[in-house]
Structure 1
Amino acid sequence: MRDYTDALNKWDIETMHDLSTEDIVFELPFRPPTFERETVGRAAYMEVLGQARDHMIEGSENLHDMSMDTLANDPNVVIATYKSDMTLRSGVRYANEYIARFVLRDGKVARFVEYYDSIILFRALGGSLVEADESELLPEGLKS
């Protein structure tokens, strides 16, 4: 796992390829618009990584404050928490916090599910959100 996350941090796609199963599933449950929720298969996953490296991120993700633990009942499931602080190719600084669930099979990553604040990413990519007044968010019956 440490080799895999080190490769992710450096965008070393060749090493990530070697440390992934042929049928790897990469999932982003809380993704911004235009991002796929699930990418299945090593070739498709490597393509997604290559697009991010070549078009979105400038240099390292600068992953830090990383901690990893396995589940007591299944040492092939690793829960990781970490932070990033990087520069996007647009020149915008992007920093976020993550929790990830990795499932290993035969020493390789078979599933990678990454949770993060997609609003932070959406804004860093140039998206904008209109701030709503709190009363606009409440259903009619709950407004005072």
Structure 2
Amino acid sequence: MSDDRRGKNLDLVQAYTDALNKWDIDTMRDLSTEDVVFELPFRPPTFERETVGRDAYMEVLAQARDHMIDGSENLHDMQMDTLASDPDVVIATYKSDMKLRSGVQYTNEYISRFVCRDGKIARFVEYYDSIILFRALGGTLQEAEESELLPEGLRS
């Protein structure tokens, strides 16, 4: 039973990420529970940590598609597996290589946690280097090595 559930959940996450890669929001809606939670624990300023509910989440996706990302996210090098202790939790690693509407090329690496329930995605938590995204969106950061707060022995 759990091997069957495991396989179905891996197929579900693959279909979901394939739809994300094509910005097929209708398919993503169909594959999400009504109470789906999208979470970005390490997010740049102005991004919400959690978006709760299918309608709110689909709106966030539509905004990203329409205003931020130009074309596919070009997700690649996807690897997935379920937790041995819970076949409803899928861990995925992958990379992106996309163009932002500003013309900037944006690449990042991700680790995501999907929680599946009744054949749908109930939670999608995406971990990535938010500093890379922040810079791609035009943000600037003071380099740590320039900071007076950093002990002299740790500066380059």
Which of 108, 111, 136 is equivalent to 1:96? 108
- Structure with bigger strand share is 1
SS at match of 2:42: coil
The AA in structure 2 aligned to 1:15 is T
TM superposition score normalised by structure 2:
0.87
Aligned match of 1:113: 125
Alignment of 1:4 onto 2:19: no
Alignment partners' CA distance in 1, 2:23 and 2:75:
11
SS at match of 1:136: coil
Which of 20, 39, 55 is equivalent to 2:32? 20
The AA in structure 1 aligned to 2:122 is A
Alignment partners' CA distance in 2, 1:70 and 1:136:
44
Cα offset for 1:139?
6.5
Aligned match of 2:43: 31
Q: Point out where structure 1 has 5 or more consecutive residues left out of the alignment.
A: none
Alignment partners' CA distance in 2, 1:135 and 1:129:
11
Cα offset for 1:135?
6.4
Cα offset for 1:138?
3.4
Equivalences for 1:128-139 in 2 at 5 Å? 128-133=140-145, 136-138=148-150
Alignment partners' CA distance in 1, 2:50 and 2:32:
15
Cα offset for 1:134?
6.2
Does the Cα contact within 8 Å between 2:115 and 2:121 map onto a contact in 1? Answer: yes
Cα offset for 1:48?
0.2
TM superposition score normalised by structure 1:
0.94
Aligned match of 2:139: 127
Alignment partners' CA distance in 1, 2:67 and 2:130:
18
Which of 64, 73, 82 is equivalent to 2:94? 82
Count of residue correspondences: 142
Cα offset for 1:136?
2.5
The AA in structure 1 aligned to 2:128 is Y
SS at match of 1:62: coil
Alignment partners' CA distance in 2, 1:30 and 1:2:
23
**Deviation sequence 1:10-49 (CA, Å, 0-9, x none):** 1100000000000000000000000000000000000000
RMSD: 1.6
Does the Cα contact within 8 Å between 2:144 and 2:150 map onto a contact in 1? Answer: no
Alignment partners' CA distance in 2, 1:3 and 1:76:
15
